[in-house]
Amino acid sequence: MSVRRWVWAGLLLLGVGMLGYSLWPRPAPPAPEAAPPPLHQASPPILFAERTVPIPEDNPQTPAKVELGRRLFYDTRLSKDGSVACASCHKPEFAFSDGGKPVSTGIFGRKGLRNAPTLTNVAFRRHLFWEGRSPRLELQAVGPLTAHDEMGLEPEELAQKLGAIPEYARAFQEVFGQPPSLKAVTYAIAAFERTLVSYNSPFDRYQAGDDSAMSQAALRGMELFFSEKGDCFHCHVGPDFTDDEPRNTALYTVYKDIGLARATGKDEDVGKFKTPTLRNVALTAPYMHDGSIQTLREAVQHYNRGGEPNLNADALIRPLGLTDPEVDDLVAFLESLTDRSFTTNPAFLPPKNEGVSR
C-alpha cells in the first residue's frame, strides 16, 4: 500500500471510529499491519483542501460575521486592562500559537499554566483545550474572554464596552440583529476561526500528485511516521494528524498538570492530553501541553526513548530504536507539514483600520 493510500486508510478508520463515538471512547483498535510503503508509488491523488468545514446549524457562516469575528479576534479592547486580544496568544505568524512561549501572558501580566495551541484547522477538532473539555468553538471562547489570567471581562462588562463603540454596535446589529453580548461575540469569533483552514503544505502537494513537493529526507520520514517502527500514525491520524483523543505520552512520571483527570477525577486519566494536530508544527514551538520541549528533534527523541516510567502511559509509547539519521528524517517530515500560504493569508491577518477604530 502506498503512503497516500495509507493516509486514506487512516481517514476511513477515523470515520468508522467517529460513527460509534460517545464521550471519550476507548482508543480505536490499532490499524492493520502493513509493509512499509514504497515511495513515489502512483496512487489516486488526495485533495484535503476539498474537505468540507463542519458548520453548526445555529451559527451559519456569513462574510459579515466572519469579518466581525476577525476584528474581535485582534481587538485588545476585549480584555479587562485593554492589553490582550485572542491574537496576543494566537499569533498568525506562528500558525496562531504563541511563538516561542512555553506559557502565555494574559491581563496584568498574569501567566497561564499551559502552552497556547495552534488554531490550524481548529474547525475540525471534536474536542477543544488540551484535555478536550470543550465541545465547540462558541463555548470555548467564553473561557479566555472571562478567565482572570487571560482577558478577564464579565459578560455584562464586555457587552457594555463593545456597545459603547458605535462601529461595533452597528456591526452586531447588522450581523445578529441585536446589540453586542458575550454570546454574539463568541459566535462571531467562532465563525472567523472556522475559516482558518490549512491544506497547502509540501505534504499536501505531494498527496495531490506532485512528486517533487517533498525532499527525500521528508519522504523517508513520512515512511517512518506511517510505519510500525515510528508508530506515530496511530495517534496522529487523519488529515490533521490527530485522533482528537486524550493520551498519555509518558512525558513525566509525576505530572504537575494532571490533564484529563482534572475533568474526570479518575486516576487512569492523569497525564492524558488531547493528541495535538501536527499541521504547521514547525511554527509552533515550544511543544507539549506545558511547552516543556523546545524543538521538534527533542520531541522525536522523547518518543524514541519511550518516555518516562508512567503507569498510565499509552501502550504505543515504547523505545523505538530510531537511529540519528532516522530522527532527522522524521523531523524533515514534520517540517513538510508547514503551509506558508496559511500564515500569510491576508484574510487571516489583522483587519485594516476601516470602520472599527483600535
Residue numbers of the site for ligand HEC (CB under 6 A)? 84, 86, 88-90, 104, 106, 112, 114, 116-117, 119, 122, 125, 128-130, 137, 140-141, 144-145, 150-151, 189, 230-232, 234-236, 247, 249, 251, 273, 275-276, 278, 281, 284, 287-289, 296, 299-300, 303, 314, 316-317, 330, 334
Q: Please enumerate in sequence order all residues whose Cβ is within 8 A of that of 96, keeping only pairs 6 or more positions apart, or say none.
A: 87, 90, 118, 119, 120, 196
Minimum CB distance to ligand HEC smaller for 42 or for 321? 321
Calpha distance 209→216 (Å, rounded): 15
Question: If you write DSSP's letter for every residue of 8-29 in order, what string do you get?
Answer: HHHHHHHHHHHHT--SSPPPPP
Q: What is the rounded distance in angstroms from the CA atom of residue 290 to the CA atom of residue 264?
A: 20
Q: Which residues on neighbouring strands pair with residue 259, listed in sequence order?
A: 272
Q: What single letter denotes the amino acid at residue 340? A: R
CA distance 277 to 54: 17
Least distance (Å) between residue 299 CB and ligand HEC: 4
261 vs 266: CA distance, rounded Å: 5
Between 249 and 338, CB nearer to ligand HEC: 249
Q: What are phi and psi of 174, to 5 degrees?
A: -65, -45
Nearer to ligand HEC, 17 or 112 (CB): 112
Measured in degrees and rounded to the nearest 5, phi and psi for residue 91 equal -90, 130
Residue with smaller CB distance to ligand HEC, 45 or 54: 54
Number of other CB atoms surrounding residue 59 within 10 Å = 17
Nearer to ligand HEC, 46 or 281 (CB): 281
The nearest distance, CB 44 to ligand HEC, in angstroms, is: 26
- Give the CA count within 13 Å in the CB-facing half-sphere of 281: 28
- Residue pair 260/268 in contact (Cβ under 8 Å)? The answer is no
- Do residues 28 and 17 lie in contact, with contact meaning Cβ atoms separated by under 8 Å? yes
Write down the least CB distance from residue 185 to ligand HEC, Å. 8
Residue 236 grid coordinates: 496522529
Distance CA(129)–CA(137), nearest Å, equals: 10
For ligand HEC, give the closer residue by CB, 287 or 342: 287
| Strand segments (E) across the chain | 246-247, 273-274
Distance, in Å, from the CA atom of 243 to the CA atom of 212, rounded to the nearest integer, reads: 29
- Nearer of residues 81 and 267 to ligand HEC, judged by Cβ: 81
User: What is the closest distance, in whole angstroms, from the C-beta atom of residue 106 to ligand HEC in the complex?
Assistant: 4
For the bound state, the minimum distance from the C-beta of residue 5 to ligand HEC, rounded and expressed in Å, comes to 20
Name the residue nearer to ligand HEC (CB basis): 140 or 343.
Answer: 140
Q: Least Å distance between CB 235 and ligand HEC?
A: 3
Q: Shortest distance, CB of residue 225 to ligand HEC, whole angstroms?
A: 6
Nearer to ligand HEC, 210 or 253 (CB): 253
Residue-wise burial string across 110-130, b where 16 or more C-beta atoms lie within 10 A, e elsewhere: eebebbbbbbbbbbbbebbbb
Q: Work out how close the CB of 26 gets to ligand HEC at its nearest, in angstroms, rounded to a whole number.
A: 13
Write down the least CB distance from residue 49 to ligand HEC, Å: 20
